[in-house]
Amino acid sequence: MHFNLNGPVNCRSVLVLGTFLVACGFASLKSQSQILSVKFDDFNQIHGWWDYHRDGTAAQDELAIVNGKGYLRISLKNPVQNLECNVGISEFQNIYGKSVKKLVTEARIKLLNPMQAGSRGWGLWKSRKKAKIHSLAWFMEQLAPNAPQFSWQLAGTVVKNRRQTVKWQPDLNRWHVYRIERDLVNKITFFWVDDQLILKTPGLTPAGRLSFHLWIDNQVYSKNGILRMAWTGESAMLVDYVKINTSALAKAEIFQSKNQAILAYRTWNDVFYGQGKFTIAQIPFNLKGQKVYAILTTCLENYGNYDEQDALFFYFDDNAAEEIVLKGNDTHNLSKTSLFSLELAPGKHQLTVRGQTSPVVNDILLINGDESEILLDIQNILLVDKMVEYQIDLEQKGKFLLYLAATLKEAPRFNQITPISVLEDEDDDLQLVLSDQSGNQIKTLEFCGNRIFGQAHTKLFEFETNARRLQLKLKSEGKPLLHRLILFRFK
């Protein structure tokens, strides 16, 4: 009832190797005025914005930090009393100041071991060396076996000498999504576990410059100073993802069309989570004809023995059986754009999308297949400092839709501290230039790695032309990965 479509189709391509310079028309990507303070790490690659900590006994343990498998695993083993033994991640400096009016951190975490002597937690902190902790909002637990007054499990906010906290009982070997929202406009901080509000602190919000921290250590923090603890064994946690949104969060591009052959389009560029098979979206559409193209850009991961793999299930109407199933085992923790051709009866329909574990869904596009044809379908090209050119002959004038999905990485040294001018030549950049046979430009689309941060991104462009031939040039710097480029002509 459905099948994958492979390309390319009906095109001629010319590959030009070599480094592509600014003089070739790429200058607009060289004038980035800012780098947005929005981050999402699915831990399927190494990002430069994290400081990876392995101190004390952890410094000699190569497995203290495991990254790049779709999750982060941190582990502290056998700390000693005469050393600060610590493992974790943090941003390099306190970067979220008063200009960031809304700051939201979200992390999906599983604790693997009972609490050992010391502390562990995650959240926002104004780090200050040799200074009293006075500005934070986080989840934290601490254990001092011989000093119960210094043993606790709390979520809350501290601002100088004021604090509001709530007791928090973490579960072992169960995933939970922890979210902290700092709202400087309304002067309130919220703490959520699995979308359940457990604490709000009206009038108490850390306004200082903060950064995200996640850690396990052997230190007990008391009024008399820091007590370092020794023990034998392991304390470990898993992190599925960390998401940090600020007021500078880029809004999803809104695509609107009066073309009835475009049945529906939804864009999220976000991660979804829930229990069992949870509903992500219900998308109604009206089909004139019987054929539907479904285009989906997603990132699904496999967590091994730690959790069920990510999955997406697509149902049409009231059918109990899934029409399309995508699983993390099939995508190897990488983003992917899938194209399916489906046969449905004419009339009104509803597509229901359900997820499992924590899939990332970029977008879903539905096209009437009886009113369109695919002129070009390019898949999975790693563009390494090159230019690729495609020429598409057109039999007649008409209306067209271009769909483009790509992943680009930020500069390896990106940390929101190094000046932007130093990083402009280090990230991945991709530019698509669409022209007619005379070289007249129809549209230019650009992707910037220092704004996408290693995640997939999609763009749509609808246009009408009288051209007899289309010229499509892809110009790259670095190593952007083109997941899919599809050109539709509407009949």
**pTM score, two decimals?**
0.89
Burial class, 271, CB count within 10 angstroms (exposed 0-12 / middle 13-18 / buried 19+): buried
CA 288-289-294 angle, 5° bins: 90
Could you say which of 245, 276, 296 is where a domain stops? 245
Give me the phi and psi of 132, to 5 degrees please. Answer: -70, 140
**Chain position carrying tokens 């946690």:** 237
CA-closest candidate to residue 143, choices 113, 180, 105? 113
Q: In which domain, by residue range, is 140 found?
A: 39-245
Kindly state whether residues 136 and 272 are assigned to the same domain: no
Here the tokens at position 363 are 């977008």
Could you give the angle at the alpha carbon of 131 between the alpha carbons of 130 and 132, nearest 5°? 135
Query: Is 473 found in the same domain as 385?
Result: yes
The one-digit pLDDT tens for each residue of the chain (491 residues) are 333 343 333 333 333 322 222 222 344 333 333 445 568 999 999 998 899 999 999 999 999 999 999 999 999 999 999 999 999 999 887 888 888 899 999 999 999 999 999 999 999 998 665 545 678 999 999 999 988 889 999 999 999 889 999 999 899 999 999 999 999 999 999 999 999 999 999 999 998 889 999 999 999 988 778 999 999 999 999 999 999 998 644 455 567 788 999 999 999 999 999 999 999 999 999 999 999 999 999 999 999 999 999 999 999 998 777 789 999 988 888 899 999 999 999 999 999 999 999 999 999 999 999 999 999 999 999 999 889 999 999 988 899 999 999 999 999 988 877 877 788 889 999 999 999 999 999 999 999 998 888 889 999 999 999 999 999 999 999 999 999 999 999 99
Q: Let me know whether 55 and 146 are in one domain.
A: yes
Residues 193 and 313 in one domain: no
Q: Are residues 172 and 257 in the same domain?
A: no
CATH code of 194's domain: 2.60.120.200
Residues 6+ apart with CB under 8 A from 467: 394, 397, 436, 437, 442
Same domain? For 193 and 259 the reply is no
Q: Which amino acid is at 88?
A: G
- 343 and 466 both lie in a single domain: yes
Last residue of a domain, one of 245, 262, 282: 245
Token pair of 377 as six digits:
């379908």
Looking at the structure, tell me whether residues 211 and 308 fall in a common domain.
no
Residue 343 and residue 388 share a domain? yes
48 and 135 housed in the same domain: yes
Same domain, 44 and 32: no
Beta strands in 194-346, from DSSP E residues, in sequence order: 196-200, 211-217, 219-222, 225-228, 234-245, 262-271, 277-287, 291-299, 311-316, 324-327, 335-343
Q: Which of 209, 224, 245 is the last residue of a domain?
A: 245
Query: How many structural domains are present in the chain?
Result: 2
Q: Are residues 207 and 300 in the same domain?
A: no
